[in-house]
Amino acid sequence: MNEIRVAFIGAGNMARSLIGGLIADGWDPARISVADPDREQLNAVAQLFQVHTETDNQQVSGQSDVVVLAVKPQIMNAVASAISAQIQARQPLVISVAAGIRGQDLQRWLGGRCALVRCMPNTQALVQSGATALYANDAVSREQKDLAESILRAVGLALWVDDEALMDAVTALSGSGPAYFFLVIEALEETARTLGLDAKSARLLAVQTAFGAAKMALESSEDAASLRRRVTYPGGTTEAALEVLESGGLRDLFQNALTAACERSKALAKQFGAD
């Protein structure tokens, strides 16, 4: 593992988060390369992490054991097609972090069968608290799976799904999920202000309550429903609030919202993979 060379194609937010996580985990920057056409982006990354930088995607792809595709989904076809000869010649592990790009399309663009791990990280990876689901095709070896997992674990939780079709559900839950919680925090803050709290206190109390609830749910052996019941006393304030949320159809709203996100994810995958 100490000799493994990793190349990132794209020097944007996701690549920087992963590189930062890997270096914090003890990876030697000399084993990490980053390619991006934008010299300014590359200089910023080189300054931050002392990694090797390159404007030529083909160059780094042909010299690495792992190639992480970290460009926007819209340009993935062009980027993957342009490095297909290097990927087919060297056969590295390819990891795609692009939302909504299916493995079959990526392999077609990459010139045919290759060891491919498709990931769905979320924006919290930028603060090393991400939740990433990974799917490996059948060309990926046990060692390559461990390697992919260790790279994604550098920015938070990483778990495997054994059916690529589940990536649409993952996208609806953890991919789009940060926005659901931001919306809840936003609504709590706004209401707290109408109840008289100043903006700063409303924000701090709402955010810390969300953080504490997530921490408790993560660390407890009890499920969310029991944790909720344990803080809801008959005739109390929490019960009064929950009755309003339940009778207002909160559960149905989430059911409809996640189903809509899942359907959109399927449609986008079809659109991106069309050519």
Cβ proximity to ligand NAP, 122 vs 144, nearer residue: 122
Q: How many residues bind ligand NAP (CB under 6 A)?
A: 25
Give min distance, CB of 42 to ligand NAP, in A: 9
Neighbours of 162 (CB within 10 A): 7
Instruction: Name the residue whose CB lies closest to ligand NAP.
Output: 12
Minimal distance in Å, beta carbon 231 to ligand NAP?
31
- Asked if residue 57 binds ligand NAP (CB under 6 A), the reply is yes
Which span sits near ligand NAP by CB under 6 A: 72-80, 84-92, 155-163, 256-264? 72-80
Distance CA 76, CA 14 (A): 15
Tell me, what DSSP letter sits at residue 115?
A: -
> Could you say which residues in the range 150-189 bind ligand NAP, by CB under 6 A?
none
Interaction mask 11-50, ligand NAP, x per CB under 6 A = xxxxx-------------------xxxx--x---------
Specify the pairing of strand 116-120 against strand 130-136. antiparallel
Q: Is 70 in the site for ligand NAP (CB under 6 A)?
A: yes
In the bound state with ligand NAP, the residue whose beta carbon lies nearer, of 39 and 113, is: 39
Tell me the backbone φ, ψ of residue 176, rounded to 5 degrees.
Answer: -90, -15
Rounded to 5 degrees, φ, ψ at 156 are 135, -155
Q: Which stretch binds ligand NAP (CB under 6 A): 94-102, 107-115, 228-236, 255-263?
A: 94-102
| Angstrom distance (rounded) from CA 168 to CA 102 | 10
Contact residue for ligand NAP among 6, 7, 9, 167 (CB under 6 A): 9
Stretch that binds ligand NAP, among 116-124, 159-167, 187-195, 237-245 (CB under 6 A): 116-124
Instruction: Determine contact, residues 94/115, Cβ cutoff 8 Å.
Output: yes
Nearer to ligand NAP, 71 or 202 (CB): 71
- Dihedral in degrees, nearest 10, Cα atoms 165, 168, 170, 171: 150
Binder of ligand NAP out of 32, 68, 95, 97 (CB under 6 A) = 97
How far apart CA 31 and CA 50 sit, in angstroms, is 10
Sheet holding 93-96, edge to edge: 52-54, 32-35, 6-9, 66-69, 93-96, 116-120, 130-136, 156-160
Residues that bind ligand NAP (CB under 6 A): 9-15, 35-38, 41, 57, 70-73, 75, 79, 97-99, 121-123
